[in-house]
Amino acid sequence: MTLFEKIVARQIPAEIVFEDEQVLAFRDINPQAPVHILIVPKRVIPRIGLAVESDASVLGHLLTCVPEVARRSGVAEGGYRLVINNGRDGGETVPHLHCHLLGGRPLAWPPG
């Protein structure tokens, strides 16, 4: 099981911000911004580069949950950034697709 699967299964505690039948959003334990939320599908998709057509509905649902997660996190009005890492060189550290919602301060461009 991945770290995120264990969080979804409540085997590892997390500060949950949002949950429904398909998605779980929780605060990152190593935040890179004042607000750093991870949004994960409960069904494991290893990475965006391995997503297939049958994953489209859960990926679409994940993205449509973002505005509510941002609202609950207090960054909807000021703005935020979404990041999806893919592979080692892309910064992926957990092989379970997830979206980083970052906000709470001005974010520079380009990142990294």
CA angle 88, 55, 20 (to 5 degrees): 95
98 is catalytic: yes
**C-alpha pair distances (Å), 15 with each of 28, 73, 87, 91:** 8, 12, 26, 23
**Phi, psi for residue 107 in degrees, rounded to 5:** -105, 130
Q: Which of 31, 43, 25 is nearest to 96 (CA)?
A: 43
Q: Choosing from 36, 96, 98, 100, which is the catalytic residue?
A: 98
Q: Nearest Cα to 40, choosing from 2, 89, 88? A: 2
Residues marked active site are found at: 98
